[in-house]
Every structure is written in structure tokens, then in C-alpha cells.
Amino acid sequence: MGDLGEFDSSFIQALEHRPKPNATEAQGIPLIDLSPISCHEDVETNSETDPASIEELVKQVGSACKKWGFFQVINHGVPLDRRQRIEAVAREFFAQSLEEKRRVKRDEVKIMGYYDREHTKNVRDWKEVFDFGVEDPTLVAASTDPDDDSVAYWTNQWPEYPPKFRETCEEYTRDVGKLIMKLMELIALSLGLKAKRFHEYFKDQTSTIRLNYYPPCPSPELALGVGRHRDNGVLTVLAQDEVGGLQVKRRTDGEWIGVKPTPGAFIINVGDIMQVWTNEAYRSAEHRVVVNSVKERLSIPFFLNPAHYTEVKPLEELIDEEHPPKYRPYVWGKFQVIRKRSNFIKLNVDNIQIDDFRIAP
């Protein structure tokens, strides 16, 4: 449990951000059946599939992205045993002593690995994490200086125990990686673009996977597993166990609503980059994680991020006189380096956000 055994003031949320004891459960969250495409490498090669079923899928995905910013998928093609295995090794890893886990501790130099002191919105989260890159090593920007083109590499740190930890994580990565690119094709089609429109951005992807462990919390009414935030990448594919705890901010009234786990489903979140690319046709969803005093919880997000040199801006195909760009361009790698720095330095203000690049109307 890391050093989370003691509850101190660093975990306490401001009064207005503390969780309510009886959160409303979300109703009507889109649950999308991907069986028409689950057996195929990509959306466009489904010659055996009825085109009408693909069209319906595209429509459902577009509607979910527009109205909610997130949705759940079933029959997605990722084998259940693949997910069960990564959950099992994650639980074994986090059950070790703090000394053992800290053998692969991350810091300002070793960005990947174990960590138990993360802050969201400058308040400490009640969780432990283990991060690894989808590409190993991951090619990233070396500095925040816009005129500095130098690069660095983030290399994964793999623990010796549990056995087959690395192998299990890499197998899971391959399967979910295929799923997330199919989802990107459905999203592209829903925007009236070519299915593979987004593929060019992921040649040197900076995507990461995180194992989140939330121990039982002695004061769940004061703390959060993860504070309110929006994912700053492109798309997130989240596996969560049966305990639940994910809450999403409802757009209509700002109320925090609980997302009940659906067995075997993945939760898909639209990220900030997608919001910029679509010029706000699709917007990222603000979410957070509540904890409880009895049960531990495990979740595994796959954060899809583009190459570090990607200039993020509204897509030309979606811009015209009636829809002028709402954001000025920014370089993803520079943005990412600034964001990562706050993991190790407690800031007194909000970290960089896409709102900093918004063009005034």
C-alpha cells in the first residue's frame, strides 16, 4: 500500500470537490457492441460484414462522442483471459512491500515505473500507479523550450516480480492497441473523414498504459483516488474491475454521476487532443475516481497519444467560414513535458491546459 497507510492533509480535497456519499448512477451511457468489426484488423476490410451494420456502428460512436465524450464497448475482440492475466499480475505487484515496489520507482529522469505520490489539481491522489510506454523506448521532446529540437527516450522499468509481468503487459498492449486503432477508424468515419485519417499521427506514438491501484481509504469522504480532470491525449481505453468508483461530470447540470462497471466492457474516453482536432465537435469528458473504506480497486487505462512532434490543431477538413478554428496550434511533445513535470513538483496553479490555446471568439 505504499506509504498510503497514514491519512494526512495532503489528500484532503477542497470542500466543493469532495465526493457525495450517495452519487447518482449514470443512466443512458452508450453501450456499443463492436462484434461487426471485432474479428477484423481494421474497419474498412470487413467485406463479410453487412455495410449497414458498420454504418450503424459509426453512427453510434459519433453520437456517443458528441453527447457524452465517453461510452462503453462490448464484444471488442480483446480476450477476457488477457485482461484477467494483467489484472492478476498487477495485484501481485502492488501487494509487495514498498521497498520492493520502489526498486522500479519513477522520478524526473526515469519517467516510467512505480509511483505513490501523484497529484491531480495539486491535491494528492489516494492511489499507487505503475506506468509503462507502448513503444519502448518512447521518443519524446527533451525540453519545454519551443526552439529546442533535441529528443529524449523514456525507457520502461520492469520489475523482476511477479514472473511474466512484462510479458503479460506487452500481450495486453498489443490487443488493446489493435482495438484502439479500430475505434479511431470509427471516429474518423463518424466525422466524414477517411477511416485511416488519424493513423499518420501514431508512427512514433507516445502512448502509455497505467496500472492504477486504489487501496481502502480511511476517509473516503475527504479524498479522491484521482481528482477531477480530463485526459489530455487523444483517446483512453479503460478497463476497471467490478468495484467501480469512476464518476463523470454530467454536462447538462455539472452533477458527478457514477459509471457502473459492465462485465467485460471497456470504457472509452475522448481526450483533449480529439477535442482540438474536431474543433469541439467532440469534447473530452471531465471525470474523477472515488474510493471507499472497505474494498481495494484496480483499473487499467491505455492513453493513446501521438508522436511528440505532432502539431495539434483543428483538422483542415473540419474548418470553414462557418466553423473557424477554436484553437491555435501547439506541439504535443512540449505540452507533454510540461504536464509530466508537475508529477514531481507541487504547483500552486493549474498545470497547462488546452484552454491556454483557445482562440478568443
- CA-to-CA distance for 68 and 29, rounded, in angstroms? 8
- CB-CB contact of 304 with 234 (8 Å): yes
Give the CB-side neighbour count of residue 284, counting CA atoms within 13 A: 22
Q: What is the residue-level pLDDT of the chain in tens, covering all 361 positions? A: 445 556 789 999 999 999 987 778 878 889 999 999 877 666 765 556 688 999 999 999 999 999 999 999 999 999 999 999 999 999 999 999 999 999 999 988 899 999 998 888 889 999 999 999 999 999 999 988 888 999 999 999 999 999 999 999 999 999 999 999 999 999 999 999 999 999 999 999 999 999 999 999 999 999 999 999 999 999 999 999 999 999 999 888 888 999 999 999 999 999 999 999 999 999 999 999 999 999 999 999 999 999 999 999 999 999 999 999 999 999 999 999 888 765 445 545 456 789 999 998 8
- CA-to-CA distance for 283 and 276, rounded, in angstroms? 8
Q: Which single residue is written with the C-alpha cell 484496480? A: 298
C-alpha cell at 114: 512505480
Burial class (CB in 10 A: 0-12, 13-18, 19+), 211: buried
Side chain identity at 261, as an amino acid letter? P
- CA-to-CA distance for 96 and 153, rounded, in angstroms? 28
- CB-CB contact of 247 with 290 (8 Å): yes
- CB-CB contact of 110 with 158 (8 Å): no
Count of CB atoms situated within 10 Å of the CB of 360: 4
C-alpha cell at 234: 487523444
Question: What are the angstrom distances between the C-alpha of 346 and each of 124, 141, 251, 283?
Answer: 9, 22, 29, 28
What is the per-residue burial (b if ≥16 Cβ within 10 Å, else e) of 78-102?
Answer: beeeebebbbebbeebbeeeeeebb
- CA-to-CA distance for 154 and 174, rounded, in angstroms? 19
- CA-to-CA distance for 189 and 195, rounded, in angstroms? 5
pLDDT tens figures, 25-71: 878 889 999 999 877 666 765 556 688 999 999 999 999 999 999 99
Instruction: State the DSSP code for 205.
Output: B
pLDDT tens figures, 170-190: 999 999 999 999 999 999 999
Q: Which fold has domain 26-357?
A: Jelly Rolls (2.60.120)
- CA-to-CA distance for 223 and 238, rounded, in angstroms? 22
Tell me the H-state helices in 195-327. 272-277
- CA-to-CA distance for 341 and 215, rounded, in angstroms? 25
- CB-CB contact of 177 with 76 (8 Å): no
Read off the pTM.
0.94
C-alpha cell at 67: 453527447
Query: Considering Cα of 307, then 310, then 312, then 316, what sign does the dihedral take?
Result: negative
**Spans of all domains in the chain:** 26-357
What is the per-residue burial (b if ≥16 Cβ within 10 Å, else e) of 295-308?
Answer: ebbbbbbbbbbbbb
